[in-house]
Amino acid sequence: MHTSFTTWVDIMEEEGEIFSNTKVDDNMPQDINFVNSKIPLPPRLDRISKLPWFECWLQKLRTEKKSEHTIRSYIVGVKTFSVTNLPNENGRKWEKMQTISVKNIHSFSDPNNGRIDAWLNSISKLRPSTINARIASISHLLKWLGYMIPDWIQRPSRSRSLPKTLGKNELKRVLLSTSQSEDCLASPIVTIMLDTGLRVSELCGLDIDDLDFEDLSALVIGGKGEKDRTVLFTNSTVNAINSWYPMRKSRLKRCKNELHNRALFLSSRGNRMNPRSVQKIIDKIAEAADIPKSKLSPHTLRHTFATGLLERGADLVTIQRLLGHASIATTRVYLEIGDQTLREIYHRAQKKITTSDLKNSEEIVKEIKNIEIKPTN
């Protein structure tokens, strides 16, 4: 059972061990212009008001089970915000700002003091997706500090790019290159990803105990959002894993970390495979298949799995569950791929028909011209 944030702080406080490695700076840097916020510190934060805000906020993110990727993104956002200067303020270092108290960061972050405006202006030239990620981090911080998100903070709209998928010919080349690869991990990894639609992090996290060959299923533990789910596979995956097992047994002898000895996929050094290593394998397959590396990634295989299900008549709810999407709105984007494919096929067909018709018309005209008209009696 996870300990709640307040309880966690209470326990640490009673033991006198709160952030023993972090020196709390309870004084706001003198050059910072701010007025005490009209909105008081929320009662839930009163007991930790003198603690370093960054450590407290970071613990809050972890108790909410935010992924490490999300946490890293949020840290970048609040870091850029905390070093944003208003007129007559000197530059300050992040190392200094992350040690000020919860009470002081509350006053510092007041949406009405103009700092958010200055910060938004400083990030305005970034890509829309990056700006949205930065705003998400500050929105979380403001909510934690008890502020309402101002209406004037608008996330830039961005044109949603459709997920990259492989065409039939590209898929054939990928499968051929995979089968001819000298890397013993190429075939099982590509086969499983196309068979299950797993995220690369989920693939790397698989243990041999997670696979049920009788049920043809695998348990994905701690997927995105720390949610467990079951994925299905076919005999193609069974055959690919069985062919991999002898090499896994050999690599297991080099494993020095007990945490890795149950991993399904091991590197040449006997360690659990990581997403970067998987991407390197995919890059080599892309090169052999004469496909741009930018178009082939583990996520491309996941998208190809999803669109394949859709084309074979699977409904969105089923695809959502197999992919592990929290919202069906995320899954719905594959309908747009289906529509796009439909339009491409239609226009290609129409183009062929038109060209064919033109050729036939030209031949008919020639035939008409060559007809010898005989005078009638």
Give the active site residues. 199, 224, 299, 302, 325, 334
Q: Measure the CA–CA gap between 348 and 339, rounded to whole angstroms.
A: 14
Q: Measure the CA–CA gap between 281 and 87, rounded to whole angstroms.
A: 51
Q: Would you give the end-to-end CA distance of the chain in angstroms?
A: 106
Q: DSSP string of 249-317?
A: HHHHTT---GGGTTBSSB-TTSPBP-HHHHHHHHHHHHHHTT--GGG--HHHHHHHHHHHHHHTT--HH
Helix or strand holding residue 218 (H, E):
strand 217-220
Which residues make Cβ contacts (< 8 Å) with residue 101, sequence separation at least 6?
24, 25, 26, 49, 50, 51, 52, 53
Which residues make Cβ contacts (< 8 Å) with residue 333, sequence separation at least 6?
160, 162, 163
3-state secondary structure of 99: coil
Residue 25's region, left for phi above 0, alpha for psi from -120 to 50, else beta, is: beta
Judge contact between 104 and 26, C-beta under 8 A: yes
